[in-house]
């Protein structure tokens, strides 16, 4: 029996010799390589923390001692040691393990920490609570690294941890010199000096923390010694562990770009991705387009927050390295710096994941929009991303950002529209613009039948019964709905407004001529585009009834994108069925046996109300 097979929880590590722990580290590394290359996920970060995680669980007693991971993508080894091996067969799939800590999975996971730079604040709060309640028999440990120290929130926490009254708190700095890309900036330089023994005093000591290190993050006995000393320290202490991201697997060790940070399923022998996507990704199309624009316009620069490669900016960096600015995990700084760049006469393109733009709302609102700065925001991974789980779905951007005065928002449905709309966005100089698109392949372009009032009409058949307003990448779903409703005898128009905010006046005119309006978006229904269109119709005295389809106001579990969209009721069947029932009510035919028979044929026997009820219960 393999040693890993005997590990049922942290207690199983107690009493194992250093030699046996090193043996366990090798087995864990092989297990991760085998499982994560098959499923995809965060391989490089976890290969780098194998020994560190083992040492932590031999010195500290989880869950009594609280272990926090920042960011949580480096918690796979922690999951293995805390008894979740079987779940790796469905890692990041519906019903399997989350790619981040999950309170639903284990009592060993205290926070679901998947946005960076937060663990030190959690830890400070936990340590303060213990001090206030007189609790002295447990430790608080925050593991931070992988670029998370480039985030301003981490330094806000350090300022308070070091400047407050003494209380036990262990911070483990996992220094692997990287976030996605190599970590840049003054703190990265300081860590390099610490690793080289060239710094007389660490910045942590200057802030009032005890500093231990640097220590070899792959030397289990050295780690255990340093962590044991840290545990015995009465005040806040930092253990500086130097690790190697992607350690032990040739394809990640040899990848100088990101060391296998987040991989797609791959052949573990060759390291080649097993891709099933059809066509280029939205990210790749954006990267090609912004490089072309930059070649035409010397005033265009790109800004990103530790996401150069994932957001598609590598081609631009390769051609114009001085015109790509990576600020680290510092979204607030990125946005306000972009405002300054705009004031200085250049046009910034801020490329960021949709889920991370939440952190910079105040800066976008007050520093960019209030000053009417011409900054273009490009939100990758908008809508349902799926396998990364609740924190990474980009389901709030249009709800949150439609409140920003003067911000123009577009949602391209395919690669061709992304190129066109990015050109339009960067050409707008009267204020900020935003382009949002989903994770994954663009698929074939969806042609425009005609243009009406600046909007793309994608489908027009029969009477003016149902107007389907398609938002962004759900255009194929909208067209499928049109086909189903046409089969039921309804006239259907499908329109893609391209620019979704502000609402085009022509959309109100078109809605006035139809009997029912249906909006389809992969954004929260609360405050989403559908809600904004409904308000615009009311303001224009348009009385046409409107039905909005979008994401419910819930955090969505991880799973495949198609599975998550289905659970949200964003399928051709669900939308067609509801629209058909609404039209039956308008026609007074809801009790007509012929209509009911046609609806059963459309939906396999369920009613719209049944499907929506089931959906509400599952999400």
| pLDDT surpassing 80 at residue 257 | no
Token duo for residue 70: 């920042």
| pLDDT surpassing 90 at residue 372 | yes
| pLDDT surpassing 60 at residue 376 | yes
Q: For 453-463, b where at least 16 C-beta lie within 10 A, e where not — what string?
A: eebbbbbeeee
| pLDDT surpassing 80 at residue 113 | no
Q: Can you tell me the distance from the alpha carbon of 29 to that of 174, in angstroms, rounded to the nearest whole number?
A: 18
What was the pLDDT predicted at 550? 95
Q: Can you tell me the distance from the alpha carbon of 244 to that of 218, in angstroms, rounded to the nearest whole number?
A: 8
What was the pLDDT predicted at 607? 41
What was the pLDDT predicted at 605? 46
Stretch 260-278: mean pLDDT? 81
DSSP, collapsed to helix, strand or coil, labels residue 239 as strand
CATH topology of domain 3-253: Rossmann fold (3.40.50)
Decide if 359 is catalytic. Answer: yes
Query: For residue 549, which of 580, 516, 519 has the smallest C-alpha distance?
Result: 519
**Ligand-binding site membership of 249 (annotated):** yes
What is the biggest distance separating any 2 CA atoms in the chain, rounded to whole angstroms?
A: 85
Pairing state of beta strands 347-353 and 466-470?
unpaired
**Ligand-binding site membership of 331 (annotated):** yes
Pairing state of beta strands 300-304 and 66-70?
unpaired
**Ligand-binding site membership of 160 (annotated):** no
Catalytic residue, candidates 79, 178, 224, 245: 245
Catalytic residue, candidates 51, 177, 331, 573: 331
Q: Can you tell me the distance from the alpha carbon of 126 to that of 119, in angstroms, rounded to the nearest whole number?
A: 10
Domain 3-253 shares a fold with domain 282-436: yes
180 pLDDT band (50/70/90 cuts)? low
Decide if 322 is catalytic. Answer: no
Token duo for residue 489: 């005898």
- pLDDT tens string 271-305: 888 866 668 999 999 999 999 999 999 999 999 99
Catalytic residue, candidates 29, 359, 408, 484: 359
Q: Can you tell me the distance from the alpha carbon of 493 to that of 485, in angstroms, rounded to the nearest whole number?
A: 10
What was the pLDDT predicted at 590? 66
Q: What is the number of other CB atoms lying within 10 angstroms of the CB of residue 30? A: 15
Token duo for residue 3: 């040693």
| Cα–Cα–Cα angle for 363, 113, 228, rounded to 5 degrees | 120
Alpha helices in 245-321 (DSSP H): 250-253, 282-296, 314-319
Q: Can you tell me the distance from the alpha carbon of 47 to that of 128, in angstroms, rounded to the nearest whole number?
A: 33
Q: Can you tell me the distance from the alpha carbon of 462 to that of 466, in angstroms, rounded to the nearest whole number?
A: 10
**Ligand-binding site membership of 255 (annotated):** no
What was the pLDDT predicted at 415? 97
Q: Which residues on adjacent β-strands are paired with residue 494?
A: 459, 468
What was the pLDDT predicted at 613? 33
Mean of pLDDT over the chain: 92
| pLDDT surpassing 90 at residue 329 | yes
Answer yes or no: CATH 3.40.50.970 is held by domain 282-436: yes
Token duo for residue 349: 């393109």
| CA 531, chain centre distance (Å) | 24
Q: Can you tell me the distance from the alpha carbon of 294 to that of 271, in angstroms, rounded to the nearest whole number?
A: 33
Decide if 331 is catalytic. Answer: yes
Give the 3-state secondary structure of 316-359.
HHHHCHHHEEECCCCHHHHHHHHHHHHHCCCEEEEEEEHHHHHH
What was the pLDDT predicted at 163? 80
| In the chain, where the domains are located | 3-253, 282-436, 450-618
**Ligand-binding site membership of 148 (annotated):** yes
Q: 55 vs 392, which has greater pLDDT?
A: 55
Percent of the chain clearing pLDDT 70 (strictly above): 94
| pLDDT surpassing 80 at residue 606 | no
For 450-618, the fitting CATH number among 3.20.20.70, 3.40.190.10, 1.10.8.10, 3.40.50.920 is: 3.40.50.920
Q: 6 vs 594, which has greater pLDDT?
A: 6
**Ligand-binding site membership of 115 (annotated):** yes
Question: Which H or E element spans position 408?
Answer: strand 408-410
Q: Can you tell me the distance from the alpha carbon of 51 to that of 62, in angstroms, rounded to the nearest whole number?
A: 16
The pTM is what? 0.91
548 pLDDT band (50/70/90 cuts)? very high
**Ligand-binding site membership of 116 (annotated):** yes
| pLDDT surpassing 60 at residue 603 | no
């Amino acid at each position: 029996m393999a040693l890993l097979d005997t590990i049922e929880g942290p207690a199983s590590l107690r009493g194992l010799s250093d030699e046996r722990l090193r043996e366990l580290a090798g087995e864990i590394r092989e297990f991760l390589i085998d499982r994560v290359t098959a499923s995809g996920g965060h391989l490089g970060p976890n290969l780098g923390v194998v020994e560190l995680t083992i040492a932590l669980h031999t010195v500290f007693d989880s869950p009594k001692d609280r272990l926090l991971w920042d960011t949580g993508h480096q918690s796979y080894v922690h999951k293995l040691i805390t008894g979740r091996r079987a779940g790796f067969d469905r890692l990041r799939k519906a019903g399997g393990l989350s790619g981040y800590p999950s309170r639903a999975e284990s009592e060993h996971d205290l926070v679901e920490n998947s946005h960076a730079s937060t663990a030190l604040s959690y830890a400070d709060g936990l340590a303060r609570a213990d001090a206030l309640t007189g609790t002295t028999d447990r430790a608080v440990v925050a593991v931070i690294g992988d670029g998370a120290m480039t985030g301003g929130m981490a330094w806000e926490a350090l300022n308070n941890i070091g400047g407050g009254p003494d209380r036990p708190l262990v911070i483990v700095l996992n220094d692997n010199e990287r976030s996605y890309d190599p970590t840049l900036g003054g703190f990265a330089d300081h860590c390099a000096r610490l690793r080289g023994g060239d710094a007389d005093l660490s910045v942590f000591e200057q802030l009032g923390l005890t500093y231990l290190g640097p220590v070899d993050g792959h030397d289990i006995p050295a780690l255990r010694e340093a962590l044991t000393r840290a545990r015995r320290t009465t005040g806040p202490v930092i253990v500086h562990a130097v690790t190697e991201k992607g350690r032990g697997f040739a394809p990640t060790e040899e990848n100088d770009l990101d060391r296998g940070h987040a991989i797609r399923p791959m052949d573990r022998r060759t390291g080649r991705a097993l891709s099933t996507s059809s066509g280029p990704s939205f990210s790749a199309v954006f990267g090609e387009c912004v490089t072309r624009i930059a070649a035409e316009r010397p005033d265009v620069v790109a800004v990103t927050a530790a996401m150069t490669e994932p957001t598609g900016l590598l081609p631009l960096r390769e051609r114009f390295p001085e015109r790509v600015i990576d600020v680290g995990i510092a979204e607030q700084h990125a946005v306000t710096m972009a405002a300054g760049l705009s004031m200085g006469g250049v046009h910034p393109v801020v490329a960021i994941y949709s889920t991370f733009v939440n952190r910079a709302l105040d800066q976008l609102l007050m520093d960019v929009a209030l000053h009417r700065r011409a900054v273009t925001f490009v939100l990758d991974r908008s809508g349902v991303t799926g396998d990364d789980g609740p924190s990474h779905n980009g389901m709030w951007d249009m709800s949150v950002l439609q409140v920003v005065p003067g911000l123009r928002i577009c949602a391209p449905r395919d690669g061709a529209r992304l190129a066109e709309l990015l050109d339009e966005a960067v050409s707008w100089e009267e204020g900020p613009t935003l382009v949002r698109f989903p994770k994954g392949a663009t698929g074939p372009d969806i042609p425009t039948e005609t243009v009406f009032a600046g909007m793309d009409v994608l489908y027009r058949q029969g009477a003016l019964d149902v107007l389907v307003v398609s938002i962004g990448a759900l255009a194929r779903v909208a067209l499928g709905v049109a086909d189903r409703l046409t089969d039921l005898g309804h006239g259907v128009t499908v329109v893609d407004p391209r620019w979704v905010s502000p609402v085009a006046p022509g959309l109100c005119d078109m809605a006035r001529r139809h009997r029912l309006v249906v909006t389809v978006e992969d954004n929260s229904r609360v405050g989403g585009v559908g809600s904004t269109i409904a308000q615009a119709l009311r303001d224009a005295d348009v009385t046409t009834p409107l039905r909005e389809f979008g994401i419910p106001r819930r955090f969505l579990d991880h799973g495949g994108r198609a599975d998550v969209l289905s659970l949200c009721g964003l399928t051709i069947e669900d939308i067609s069925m509801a629209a058909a029932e609404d039209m039956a009510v308008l026609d007074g035919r809801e009790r007509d046996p012929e209509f009911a028979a046609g609806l059963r044929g459309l939906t396999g026997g369920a009613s719209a109300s049944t499907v929506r009820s089931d959906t509400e219960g599952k999400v």
